[in-house]
């Protein structure tokens, strides 16, 4: 297996979320529709990951025991430590949801203060929480005080470039007992456009005294993570889309932290094996037809990174039954990767920003 190398910064001490000691500073960032149990199991099996969080789930839906939401917070012994990300705006609902999560054995709770989608932010949750500092700090404090497990917050730099409130929030949150801050280096107004503002993340890292700050945004490679760590002074890095393109990224980063070197990501054959394994976990949870529908988004990332011909990818996406799924996959296996071999290093996949208005991601 080829080894790659890149200079290492002086790493900060290992991260803990309050009493919860993490084995790696490299985390999976929540991605609605992707960071479900099947994918979390896959990246944890590969290794090198500190914390993996569920997609954002509605606090109200947890309290009302919405069956789909309860499935979204299902876990597995290998899915540890297990963090659930909640959003909401009503204090009672948020507290009740947090307490329910404690009874379900969740290890830590993350509060979503970054979601820019109008349906969520417009209602005052997600990034909308950044618009009303006093109420938000009071709400988060009530949640922290109501549960015995660590509570973290994920946010953006601010609502827009005129209100870069993340450092102020981070300072206030540390005072009231929030255990960690994950910060996506863009504003709500930016959506996913432009590049991540590492200077903005640095201000958040400088605003806190001792809790870990996790830098997030556009990290795809070891070199990106190195830049994030050394230019922002953050304690850890969370990776979203980069992990869909390369589920080996956490393992590579941990190898790099330990030795300065890391091994290749998976080949066509390795990714095929991963795809099948993830699909089988999805079937365990959702049954065959439910798994096929839910797996479509994810298979796009697998098949693109495997350099599968567009027409074959398209055909695969049309599968409605397990027979059709297997038949389409057999054609893909037969064809192999375009211009590459089945066991070698594949070129990096282009990582798209969420398409269309951010309302749709």
Binding to ligand FMN in span 66-105, by CB under 6 A: 85
For the chain, helix, strand, coil in percent to 5 are 45, 15, 40
One of 50, 81, 88, 114 touching ligand FMN (CB under 6 A) = 114
The reply on whether position 241 binds ligand FMN by CB under 6 A is yes
User: What distance in Å separates the CA atoms of residue 278 and residue 209, rounded to the nearest whole number?
Assistant: 40
Contact 213, 183 (CB under 8 A): yes
The reply on whether position 128 binds ligand FMN by CB under 6 A is no
Contact 60, 36 (CB under 8 A): no
Q: Which of 140, 148, 142 is nearest to 169 (CA)?
A: 140
User: What distance in Å separates the CA atoms of residue 79 and residue 248, rounded to the nearest whole number?
Assistant: 16
**Least Å distance between CB 357 and ligand FMN?**
13
The reply on whether position 218 binds ligand FMN by CB under 6 A is yes
One of 22, 24, 29, 266 touching ligand FMN (CB under 6 A) = 29
- DSSP-assigned states of every residue in 91-150: HHHHHHHHHHHHHTT-SEEEEEE----HHHHTTTSGGGGGG-HHHHHHHHHHHHHH-SS-
CA dihedral 277, 278, 282, 285 (to 10 degrees): 70
The reply on whether position 305 binds ligand FMN by CB under 6 A is no
The reply on whether position 260 binds ligand FMN by CB under 6 A is no
Three-point CA angle 119, 241, 167, nearest 5° = 65
Question: 314 Cβ partners below 8 Å, 6+ apart?
Answer: none
Binding to ligand FMN in span 140-169, by CB under 6 A: 154
One of 190, 216, 252, 254 touching ligand FMN (CB under 6 A) = 216
Q: Pick the stretch among 38-46, 95-103, 110-118, 279-287 that binds ligand FMN (CB under 6 A).
A: 110-118
Is 115 among the catalytic positions?
yes
Q: Which is nearer to ligand FMN, 48 or 337 (CB)?
A: 48
One of 48, 240, 247, 337 touching ligand FMN (CB under 6 A) = 240
Contact 347, 340 (CB under 8 A): yes
One of 9, 55, 230, 331 touching ligand FMN (CB under 6 A) = 55
Q: Which residue is nearest to ligand FMN (CB)?
A: 240
Binding to ligand FMN in span 335-354, by CB under 6 A: 354
Binding mask 180-209 for ligand FMN (x = CB under 6 A): ----x-------------------------
Count of CB atoms situated within 10 Å of the CB of 104: 14
Which residues lie near ligand FMN (CB under 6 A)?
A: 29-32, 55-56, 85, 112, 114-115, 154, 184, 216-219, 239-242, 354, 361
């Amino acid at each position: 297996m080829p080894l790659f190398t890149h200079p290492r910064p002086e790493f900060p001490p290992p991260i803990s979320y309050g009493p919860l000691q993490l084995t790696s500073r490299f985390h999976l960032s929540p991605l609605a529709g992707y960071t479900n149990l099947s994918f979390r199991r896959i990246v944890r099996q590969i290794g090198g990951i500190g914390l993996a969080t569920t997609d954002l789930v509605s606090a109200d839906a947890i309290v009302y025991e919405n069956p789909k939401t309860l499935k979204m917070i299902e876990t597995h012994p290998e899915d540890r430590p297990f963090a659930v990300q909640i959003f909401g705006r009503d204090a009672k609902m948020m507290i009740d949801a947090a307490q329910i999560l404690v009874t379900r054995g969740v290890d830590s709770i993350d509060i979503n203060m970054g979601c820019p989608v109008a349906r969520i932010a417009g209602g005052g949750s997600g990034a909308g929480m950044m618009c009303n500092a006093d109420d938000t700090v009071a709400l988060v404090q009530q949640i922290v005080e109501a549960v015995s497990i660590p509570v973290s917050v994920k946010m953006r730099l601010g609502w827009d470039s005129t209100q870069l409130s993340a450092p102020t929030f981070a300072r206030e949150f540390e005072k009231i007992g929030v255990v960690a801050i994950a910060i996506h280096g863009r504003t709500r107004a930016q959506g996913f456009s432009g590049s991540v503002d590492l200077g903005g993340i640095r201000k958040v890292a400088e605003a806190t005294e001792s809790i870990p700050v996790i830098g997030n945004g556009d990290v795809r490679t070891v070199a990106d993570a190195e830049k994030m760590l050394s230019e922002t002074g953050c304690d850890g890095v969370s990776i979203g889309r980069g992990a869909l393109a390369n589920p080996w990224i956490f393992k590579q980063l941990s190898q790099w932290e330990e030795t300065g070197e890391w091994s290749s990501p998976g080949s066509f054959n390795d990714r095929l094996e991963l795809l099948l394994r993830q699909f089988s976990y999805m079937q365990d949870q959702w049954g065959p037809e439910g798994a096929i529908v839910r797996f479509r988004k994810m298979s796009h990332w697998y098949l693109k990174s495997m350099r599968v011909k567009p027409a074959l990818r398209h055909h695969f996406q049309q599968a409605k039954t397990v027979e059709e799924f297997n038949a389409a996959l057999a054609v893909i296996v037969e064809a192999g990767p375009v211009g590459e071999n089945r066991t070698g290093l594949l070129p990096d996949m282009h990582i798209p920003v969420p398409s269309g208005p951010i309302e749709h991601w």
